Chain A
Amino acid sequence: MNRVPVRARVGLALLVGLGLLSLLAGRLFPEALAQTCPLGMDPTRPDRTVCELAFGGLWVSLAVGLAAGALSTLIGLTVAAVARLSGGVVEQTLLRAVDAVFALPDVLVVMVLQLAGQSLADAGQGGGLGPFGLMVASLALVGWAGPARMFRNRLATLESQEYVAASRALGGGGLHLLRVHLWPALRPFALAVFLSRLPAAILTESTVSFFGIARMEPMSLGRYLGTSYAALIYEGGGRVVLPAWALLVLLVLGASLASQALSGAPRRAA
């Protein structure tokens, strides 16, 4: 643990703390939260307090972000590894595909994928994916390009190191190099990339859910604000918006601190 930079520890503590708080307050003990909430009732759901809905939504948003972030990091890592192991035309083709996916805004593509996925699910061809699984799959399908590019560049840098050249000269194959020499050096970076995808996935999900396109149940933070936005506009909804905003900001702050500290941390010799 001493090798983890202080900023990363603060960021991770913030993330874990928010996760635990949202689980305890939003899911396990919602009654306690309802009785102590200083912000009053939600304008469109008079039986629920603002705190219950915000913390309940945070738990769902966090779960979506963790699953989508992990899946897109895994896909990105696989694509980068295949690109570097294959080289040549395959690598160039994969890089062009990465550029193409990267060029389109996440929100727009996720909306189209949600439309397609929901139509398939309604026709009984959804492959068992519920709204949660569909959102995670959509976010992973648009989110892998960034990690793939970052992993590919990091792998190219690592491959130029002397210890890799030495292993290659001794007859080490591509898979051996990847498993034995490159992966240990790549591991902290993979965690940093995952943490950098986490807020991006949460914010994209929030925006798409806010539009009313995703059917997340229980409601995520974005869907919660989206379902009551007409009431928020006409009744002055600052007290409803501010807690959800504060939770999103804290989540992003935690993930950014941890991600930046881990990706910039020097690697110590074992």
Chain B
Amino acid sequence: MKAVAQRLVRQVVLVPVVAIASYFLMAALPLTTETDAKRQVSRELAASYRRDLGIGEPLGFLRPWEKLFRGERLGTSAQGITGDELLTKLSGSVGVGLMALPLALTWALGFALLRTRWRKGRWSAMGDVVPAVAFGTPVFIPALLLAPAVVERGNLLPELCAALVTSIWPGIFLGTLVGDSLEAELSRDYVRTALGKGLSRATVLRRHVLPNVWPAMLDAVGPVATSLLAGSFAAERVLGLPYFGQLYVLAVLNKQVAVVVVATTTFATLLVIVSLAVEVLRYAVDPRSREATT
């Protein structure tokens, strides 16, 4: 239990570290406004940026959060954001991520089973080719290929398409790990014994093998959830979804530095919450995890 608590504390500490690091990095930016040739931001944006970041004030790094909690707008009126809008956009991205997670798990299980079947046949090279194709495919490429149907003709649900394109690489990555674990379990004595006693292959897989494979899957779910959330940035941009990813990219492009600070910290908090949830789930379903920590 102590080890789990230590891991949790390490995760939680990440949030203030990210908040402070991103604040001071943004506050130190020399966003010049003086001459036309060197001007990086408009005078209006520069004024909002000093006001929002509370530069020169004691505890200025709390200012963006104070404004958000008061319901005030961060950034300029045209491109800024309020706390409610931030939460709405975040919930949109989380929704896409939640749709992508079961899709990724389906890809993972399907690929792991296929890889086990391909292992010794003439299709064995596919075990290398499929992960390379998935990894070599940035999210924006399948999104671009689907975009005409989604954006131009409006035939498909944009959120579902975003979840689909976001889930491919994390699903195959997870499938590779699960496939390795599946192969190791299938070669064990208890599997031979169960098959020898007359159980069907599907029953052995479902009843005996998969419960031993879940921990390997849970180990990788944290990084996969991060990939799903980060991957949705590109999908949202291409498919025109006005959620958190779109907000973040536009904030960086328009140098809305206070929005960048708040959005970065919010995203880090979300990642920590996901990690904590995975940790709790692992503790609940994997007896080896409980034994290792007692």
Interface, chain A (partner B; CB < 8 A): 96, 99-100, 103-108, 111-112, 114-116, 119-120, 122-125, 199, 203, 206-207, 210-213, 222, 225-226, 229, 232-234, 236-238, 241, 244-245, 248-253, 256-257, 260
Contacts and interface: CB of A to CB of B under 8 A. Distances in A.
A162 to B, nearest CB: 28
A151 B84 CA distance: 44
Contact of B138 (A123, A206, A213, A232): A206
A207 B140 contact: yes
29 contacts: A99-B10, A100-B14, A103-B14, A103-B226, A103-B271, A106-B230, A108-B248, A112-B264, A115-B29, A122-B40, A123-B31, A123-B40, A124-B38, A125-B30, A203-B136, A206-B138, A207-B233, A210-B140, A211-B249, A212-B253, A222-B140, A241-B144, A248-B136, A248-B137, A249-B137, A252-B132, A252-B135, A256-B135, A257-B132
Contacts of A222: 138, 140
| Overall SS of chain B's interface | helix
B32 interface: yes
Interface of B: 10-11, 14, 17-18, 22, 25-26, 29-32, 38, 40, 128-129, 131-133, 135-141, 144-145, 147-148, 151-152, 226-227, 229-230, 233-234, 237-238, 248-249, 252-253, 255, 257, 260, 264, 267-268, 271-272, 275
B30 A119 contact: yes
B5 to A, nearest CB: 15
A233 B148 contact: yes
B224 to A, nearest CB: 12
Contacts of A253: 128-129, 132-133, 136
A224 to B, nearest CB: 12
Given A213-B249, A256-B128, A120 B29 contact: yes
Contacts of B18: 104
Contacts of A225: 140-141, 144
B138 A233 contact: no
Contacts of B136: 199, 203, 245, 248-253
A117 B49 CA distance: 18
Among A229, A233, A238, A250, chain B packs the most CB atoms within 10 A around the CB of A233
Contacts of B151: 233-234
B10 A238 contact: no
Given A116-B29, A119-B29, A210-B234, A256 B148 contact: no
A3 to B, nearest CB: 21
Greatest chain A CB density within 10 A among B11, B18, B144, B260 is at B144
B144 A123 contact: no
A108 B244 CA distance: 12
Nearest to B40: A122
Give the most central of A122, A124, A226, A237: most B CB within 10 Å: A122
A213 B252 CA distance: 8
B253 A211 contact: yes
A105 B271 CA distance: 9
A232 B29 contact: no
Contact of B152 (A106, A199, A212, A233): A233
Nearest to B131: A256
A234 B152 contact: yes
A237 B144 CA distance: 8
A256 B172 CA distance: 14
A208 to B, nearest CB: 9
A249 to B, nearest CB: 4
